[in-house]
Amino acid sequence: MPNATITGWGKCMPPAVLTNADLATFLDTDDEWITSRTGIKERRISHVPLGELGYVSAARALACAGLEATDLDLIIFGTCSFDEQVPNMASGVQKRLGAVNAGAMDVNTACTSYLYGLTTASAMIRQGIIRNALVIGGELISPLMDWTNRNVAVLFGDGCAATVLQATDADEGVLADKLGCFGDVREILLVRGMGQRYANRGWHYGDTEWVFEGQEIFKRAVIGMSQACETVLGATGLGADGVDLVVPHQANLRIIEAVAKRAGVPMERTFVNVHRYGNMSAATVPVALVESLEDGRVKPQANLLLTGFGAGLTWSAHVVRWGARTHPLGASDVELPPLEKTALEIVRGHMAAKRGSREA
């Protein structure tokens, strides 16, 4: 049975930066509260639709792997903030890339969508159903945010990254995975206003209300990720000492520290970028993975522990053994269209649109 190894990686971060000070211009909050409770200093706000971020990430990941778009057998787009529900996001990437031989599906498990997609693609590669897959994790939360609610507005950001998975006979790639879900408490993280339940019932799309029981979500995040990490470390026989780098979901620095501590891995071997991007939901782990490679934190044959947590409440962990190559084979010249507004102007636009839809 072949293994599924990651041979390409690429991210696409929107350039507009929204700082904690920017948030304090319209919310009753401050940098001290946000930094001490979450570790977040700034986040990105996209000036383009999610499909654009997905396409640029995908083109970069393909070039990194040295593959042609026509080599792809499957594209998985992990997200809960799709541009349209029909048709799906993955088919848009298939079209833009010209990946005419690829099937295209979306996976929505909220913040763990990329990781559930990783399991789906790697299982299909191991079964011999496909050989080359593109797995994207992307999220554009800013148009769906309730910017009047300080409990959630300070936590999230936009972003996207993609990876290419290929069949290999080498002893590398996704070595173990564990998926889980605390469905019994699914209502403690709920976004009202997204979904057909609200259609034609006085809601306008994007006019959301967030139910977010922060402390209970925090507790469950630590329990779920720790449980999943223990399972995959046990299955591979690696143990904490065998982990070269933890690449965790980036929702809150305190959660990351608690999960690393429970896994027995010191923070020096745990990748953190939550201070620069906040919680980008499905994009957090793939963006952190790409940046781990860019920063030289992933060595050939390194054992990586990926773990995530999100609405549902879904959770997961993967052990990924890296291959010999930690540098891209090539680069793509695809870029985002130029930015014409500041992050604060984009957010104020979302707030005005929401007020407009409420008054209509």
C-beta closer to ligand UT7: residue 32 or 335: 32
Say which of 12, 108, 160, 249 is annotated catalytic. Answer: 249
81 binds ligand UT7 (CB under 6 A): no
Torsion angle in degrees (nearest 10) through CA of 287, 139, 226, 149: 120
Helices (H) and strands (E) in the chain, counts: 11, 13
Active site residue 149: no
CA–CA distance, 146 with 27 (Å, rounded to integer):
11
Eight-class DSSP state of 267: G
Eight-class DSSP state of 209: E
x/- letters, 13..52, toward ligand UT7 (CB under 6 A): ----------------x---xx--xx--------------
218 binds ligand UT7 (CB under 6 A): yes
Active site residue 200: no
Nearest residue to 249 (alpha-carbon basis) of 286, 216, 219 = 286
To the nearest whole angstrom, how small is the minimum distance from the Cβ of residue 31 to ligand UT7?
A: 10
Please list every residue from 282 through 311 that binds ligand UT7, using CB under 6 A.
Answer: 309-310
Q: What are the two backbone dihedrals, phi and then psi, of residue 121, each rounded to the nearest 5 degrees?
A: -65, -45
State the residue number with the nearest CB to ligand UT7.
214
To the nearest whole angstrom, how small is the minimum distance from the Cβ of residue 256 to ligand UT7?
A: 10
Give first-to-last CA distance, the chain, whole Å. Answer: 58
Written as six digits, the tokens of 104 are: 């295209």
Full strand arrangement of the beta sheet holding 74-78: 3-11, 159-168, 132-139, 74-78, 103-107
Q: What are the two backbone dihedrals, phi and then psi, of residue 33, each rounded to the nearest 5 degrees?
A: -65, -50
Active site residue 3: no
Say which of 64, 111, 160, 229 is annotated catalytic. Answer: 111
Specify the residue for token string 């965790």.
Answer: 248
The Cβ of residue 116 has, within 10 Å, a number of other Cβ atoms equal to: 26
C-beta closer to ligand UT7: residue 64 or 155: 155
Among 25, 127, 151, 357, binds ligand UT7 (CB under 6 A): 151
Residue 189: beta bridge partners?
Answer: 212
Among 46, 279, 314, 316, binds ligand UT7 (CB under 6 A): 279
Among 6, 58, 165, 221, binds ligand UT7 (CB under 6 A): 221
Among 150, 204, 261, 350, binds ligand UT7 (CB under 6 A): 150
C-beta closer to ligand UT7: residue 75 or 306: 306
Stretch that binds ligand UT7, among 5-13, 126-134, 174-182, 250-258 (CB under 6 A): 250-258
x/- letters, 153..192, toward ligand UT7 (CB under 6 A): -x--------------------------------------
Contacts of 173 (CB under 8 A, 6+ apart): 3, 4, 5, 6, 122, 165, 320, 321, 323
Whether 276 and 14 have beta carbons less than 8 Å apart is answered as: no
Among 86, 184, 196, 215, binds ligand UT7 (CB under 6 A): 215
To the nearest whole angstrom, how small is the minimum distance from the Cβ of residue 339 to ligand UT7?
A: 26
C-beta closer to ligand UT7: residue 133 or 179: 179
Whether 82 and 90 have beta carbons less than 8 Å apart is answered as: no
Please list every residue from 99 through 118 that binds ligand UT7, using CB under 6 A.
Answer: 111
C-beta closer to ligand UT7: residue 67 or 221: 221
Whether 253 and 231 have beta carbons less than 8 Å apart is answered as: no
Number of residues engaging ligand UT7 in binding (CB under 6 A) = 20
Whether 280 and 110 have beta carbons less than 8 Å apart is answered as: no
Stretch that binds ligand UT7, among 4-12, 71-79, 114-122, 217-225 (CB under 6 A): 217-225
Handedness of CA 108, 183, 120, 306 (dihedral sign): positive
Contacts of 127 (CB under 8 A, 6+ apart): 1
Could you list the active site residues? 111, 249, 279
Q: Which residues bind ligand UT7 (CB under 6 A)?
A: 29, 33-34, 37-38, 111, 150-151, 154, 214-215, 217-218, 221, 251-252, 255, 279, 309-310
